[in-house]
Amino acid sequence: MTPRPQTSAAGVLALLSESDPVLQQHALKTLNGLVPQFWPEISESIPPIEELYENASLPKDAQELAALVLSKVFYYLGQYDEALSFALRAQRAFFEDGSRPGAEEYVETVVSKAIDRYIQFRTNEESGVSTETIDSGLQDIIEGIFERCIQDGEFKQAIGIALESARLDVITRIYELTKDTQLLSYVIDSVLDSGFKLAYRNKVLRHIIPLFPPPTAQSSHIYSLTRLHITLASPPLTISFLNSLTEGASELVTEQQLLAYQLAFDLVEGGTQDFIEAVRSGLPEGKTLPEKHVYVKLRKILSGEETIRLYLDFLMRNDRTDLLILKNSKEALDGRSSIYHNALTFQNAFMHCGTTSDIFLRNNLDWLARASNWSKFSVTAALGVIHKGNTHDALRLLGPYLPNPSGENSSGPYSEGGALYALGLINAGRGKDVLGYLRDRLTEAQSEIVQHGAALGLGVAGMAGGNQDAYEDLKTTLFQDSAVAGEASGYAMGLIMLGSGNERAVEEMLVYARETQHEKIIRGLAIGVAFIYYGRQEESDNIVEKLLADKDPILRYGGVYTLALAYCGTADNGAVKKLLHIAVSDTSDDVRRAAVTCLAFLLFKTPSQVPRLVQLLSESYNPHVRCGATLALGLSCAGTGMQDAIDLLEPMTKDPVDFVRQGAFVSLAMILIQQTEASSPSVASTRSLFTKVIADKHEDPMARFGAAVAQGLIDAGGRNVTITLQSRAGTKNMNAVVGMTLFCQFWYWYPLAHCASLAFEPTAIIGLCENLETPAFEFVSNARPSLFAYPAPTKPPTKETVEKVATAVLSTTAKAKAREKEKERAKAAEEGESMDTDEKPPAGETSKDVKVEDVPMKVEGEEGSAKPAEETKPAKRKEPSFEKLSNLSRVTTAQLAHISFPSEGRFQPVRTVSVTPSKSSASKKGQMYSGGGGILMLMDKTPDDPIEWIESENSIKFIPVIQTNSNGVPIGVHDLSADTAEADPPPPFEYPFDNDT
């Protein structure tokens, strides 16, 4: 007989009022199991249960059981804080009840609340807000959680709780137990890519540095160490680490020396000017001769000259620019129109960025001669993009255009201003050698146009240098209240103080922004303030609040960028929510567009989130919001080929508003850069779309401008660079973030589009020996060659030939001809003569058997054109599954996961080529790749054998001079070789006049 189900807890609750402690304990045990079913009824008896909990005469077990029952009742009532409080008082009863079937959800909720409360206590304790001691029961729960996580091998969960609750001792304990450096790398990722406060972040990073073991060749934590030093930017810490690697250097090249060189190269690519210079100047001279040689090479690497030389050599050597694309664009875009002239200028500059190839300019001097006013400024500045990184020859190359102090042979203020801007672009982020020159030109200039170029060049070249003298010179120019020069000064002041958080500079800039009447100056200062708070996180909160609450929309616009750059790369939830709110609520279209665009700067490390986040915004009724959505997708998903982003952008290329289509074209190019048809099926259709829009004279000018810029971006740097806001070490790519921020301002000022070149990252593997020279060797790409091949060159249009149309023959005519032939055959048979006919009867059939009615209608000219029944097609060659690449070859970001160095090879890299597994995350579209490629120091397994070296490319010969005569006809090309010494005259000789006929 089955027992009747219980329908009420009234009987059990009645036992609570009994005086016998045994009955009360029995009631509590029974109620503990009935709470999930009868909690509404039990909740009416909370006071009697509380009395039992407070009854000191009851055994401790009974009191804890009463607390557990109360905790469960409050849990079902939704009062989780009360549930946690009684669970903490239940102590042992709570832990024992966790194994009861059906209690999992209750236990998980209470534990999560316990963790939240513990984190809150610890956070307040660390910040000094509260001195309240933590409940011992809560401490026991947390310690139990840590123990279970460690026992179950769930180390990352324990690390996550430890980071949130500032329990760094737990991180140390876990590492000492496991000795797994991957867990320390996980700590770095968690701290840097989340919204932890700046001071706490630095505290965690400094805590884990000593835990890392000394690096060895192919150590997995080399990237993490580089990332730590770049993020902390502490010269004493970095110098100490380099010293530990070079200590005891000998004549024999050691693994540690090569690792020191490798770290130096990686620091140059990710560190700021002032940090690198402080490390370089702080290195010791060395005690022994081998140590001195090592430190000399380290200082040479840290100067940045070697990195610039190697990447310049790579881009010149592998230039695959398709000049036919530029030729077609030039023919389609009217050079007399300023917007089209600028479009082609940017397209050519981006396609030739860093290659030093000015062949298109030299071949189109007539087009150059059409540049006037600010178009001339842009086309001169384009030389800085083309020769980006060629710092050694920068002044010589730009000599014909730079201002002459004597005032003689002036090329005009627009060319002079553009040349100064170009000088800054060539020396972007590494311009300590030209800062003095640019400051002199800025202070001497009388023209606001020259001041504009000098200020932009000074800002870009002195980026994050913190040069106080340069800042004061720019401030002096700003106070002249010239709209043109003042705007550039605003940008440049922010660039000089990039990431410094200098409150005095911010105060000065905002005071002047509220005093001036020029919108251009206000905008320059607003973006300048954003640069100053780059990466400062919570330090920017007060100024962001003030800017976003300002009545001036331009300052609110600056507030949006300040928020985005301060929390750049952190994916901070609070910042994302604030931007989304502004995107749908602000009264200014410019501010709303900027808010959507700035989502990219927050989320570029997790690009797969962005398409889902902006999907609804991309369908907004407001075209400015839609335009912002296009740029957000392009900037965050750049170089990933992410199909989700492409699917959102493709419909927007048909948007009724021209500037939305412009943004869609530019963003598609960013996403599909270095993608092939094998890796992304949208590449071919997108390229043909750009060509079609440029050639369509009925298309809106803004859309054609966007398509031309997009063509330059998708083939940037001779098809050897990618666009990424993340450095190889996994840190924020400061130059790229700044460059793309300025690029987004081309909406207001076209010349700023040149700054997109700051985000171009060469994709190469460049192997170096100990002497910093490049040996000849091969490595393997374990992927089909077509997957990462260069695009096929554009084919010139074929000349169309008119084909003769076949003449149709009616069936009646064919029948008549057949009858005539039949008559002729009969007549020939009678005469005994054989006659050749056009058609012969089949074997076994006489001509008389052919019926006239069976003759079908024919088309003249078809005879002999029929294909044979079987054609022998050549067998399709199967594509190999791998290819061998040589040193200084292009290796795309996605290809890094497939690169390997054969174990039998002579040269082996000291650090791994890629930290991304080839079969999992590397193959996922949209996965960001941290680390890999670039400049690799090589270990020589047979150092006594001779080495074949690769000679450096050097083909800089000509620079076109944009000078015209009074009729506007170009004068010619300036030959740099003419500056060299004149050749000796031939020796004396006598001419044989007598033999002259």
Q: Poorest-confidence range of 78-82, 349-353, 480-484, 813-817?
A: 813-817
| Strand segments (E) across 507-647 | none
**Is the model more confident about 169 or about 127?**
169
**Among 953, 963, 978, 954, which Cα is nearest to 361's?**
963
pLDDT tier, 575 (very low <50, low <70, confident <90, very high otherwise): very high
pLDDT tier, 52 (very low <50, low <70, confident <90, very high otherwise): confident
Cβ atoms of residues 894 and 929 within 8 Å:
yes
In the predicted structure, residue 581 carries a pLDDT above the cut 90: yes
Which residues contact residue 476 at a Cβ distance below 8 angstroms, ignoring those fewer than 6 apart? 443
Which residues contact residue 132 at a Cβ distance below 8 angstroms, ignoring those fewer than 6 apart? 121, 124
- pLDDT tens-place string over residues 780-815: 999 999 999 999 988 887 665 555 656 666 667 777
Q: What is the pLDDT of residue 124?
A: 82
Alpha carbons 185 and 193: distance in angstroms, whole number: 12
**Among 545, 933, 934, 533, which Cα is nearest to 738's?**
533
Q: What is the pLDDT of residue 830?
A: 65
pLDDT tier, 407 (very low <50, low <70, confident <90, very high otherwise): low
Mean pLDDT of 490-513: 95
pLDDT tier, 110 (very low <50, low <70, confident <90, very high otherwise): confident
Q: Provide the residue type at 320 as one letter.
A: R
pLDDT tier, 666 (very low <50, low <70, confident <90, very high otherwise): very high
Cα of 112 vs its chain's centroid, Å = 36
In the predicted structure, residue 974 carries a pLDDT above the cut 60: no
In the predicted structure, residue 176 carries a pLDDT above the cut 70: yes
**Is the model more confident about 381 or about 1?**
381
Q: Poorest-confidence range of 557-566, 715-724, 798-807?
A: 798-807
Cβ atoms of residues 823 and 815 within 8 Å:
no
SS3 state at 514:
helix
Mean pLDDT of 256-276: 91
Token readout for 499 is 């990431």
End-to-end CA distance of the chain: 140
In the predicted structure, residue 995 carries a pLDDT above the cut 90: no
**What kind and span of H or E run contains 256?**
helix 255-270
Which residues contact residue 152 at a Cβ distance below 8 angstroms, ignoring those fewer than 6 apart? none
In the predicted structure, residue 868 carries a pLDDT above the cut 80: no
In the predicted structure, residue 896 carries a pLDDT above the cut 70: yes
Neighbours of 701 (CB within 10 A): 16
Q: What is the pLDDT of residue 848?
A: 42
Q: What is the pLDDT of residue 849?
A: 45
pLDDT tier, 870 (very low <50, low <70, confident <90, very high otherwise): very low
Q: What is the pLDDT of residue 591?
A: 97
Q: What is the pLDDT of residue 993?
A: 55
pLDDT tier, 851 (very low <50, low <70, confident <90, very high otherwise): very low
Q: What is the pLDDT of residue 627?
A: 97
Instruction: State how beta strands 764-768 and 934-940 pair.
Output: parallel
Mean pLDDT of 216-239: 90
732 beta partners: 726
SS3 state at 859:
strand
Q: What is the pLDDT of residue 219?
A: 85
Q: What is the pLDDT of residue 866?
A: 46
Mean pLDDT of 752-756: 96
Mean pLDDT of 625-636: 97
In the predicted structure, residue 859 carries a pLDDT above the cut 50: no
Q: What is the pLDDT of residue 990?
A: 66
Longest dimension (CA), the chain: 149
Q: What is the pLDDT of residue 234?
A: 93
Token readout for 837 is 């006919």
Highest average pLDDT, of 51-60, 539-548, 720-729, 970-979, comes from 539-548
Q: What is the pLDDT of residue 97?
A: 75
Mean pLDDT of 493-507: 95
Alpha carbons 885 and 779: distance in angstroms, whole number: 5
Alpha carbons 91 and 67: distance in angstroms, whole number: 9
- pLDDT tens-place string over residues 57-68: 888 888 888 888
Q: What is the pLDDT of residue 853?
A: 45
Q: What percent of the chain has pLDDT over 90?
A: 56
Q: What is the pLDDT of residue 564?
A: 97
The per-residue pLDDT of the chain, averaged, comes to 85
Which residues contact residue 468 at a Cβ distance below 8 angstroms, ignoring those fewer than 6 apart? none
Mean pLDDT of 292-298: 92
Q: Poorest-confidence range of 16-30, 201-215, 567-581?
A: 16-30
Alpha carbons 617 and 580: distance in angstroms, whole number: 9
Highest average pLDDT, of 4-13, 254-263, 378-387, comes from 378-387
**Among 347, 452, 336, 988, which Cα is nearest to 708's?**
347
**Among 728, 781, 782, 765, which Cα is nearest to 909's?**
765
**Among 306, 294, 310, which Cα is nearest to 258's?**
294
In the predicted structure, residue 957 carries a pLDDT above the cut 60: no
Cβ atoms of residues 268 and 307 within 8 Å:
yes
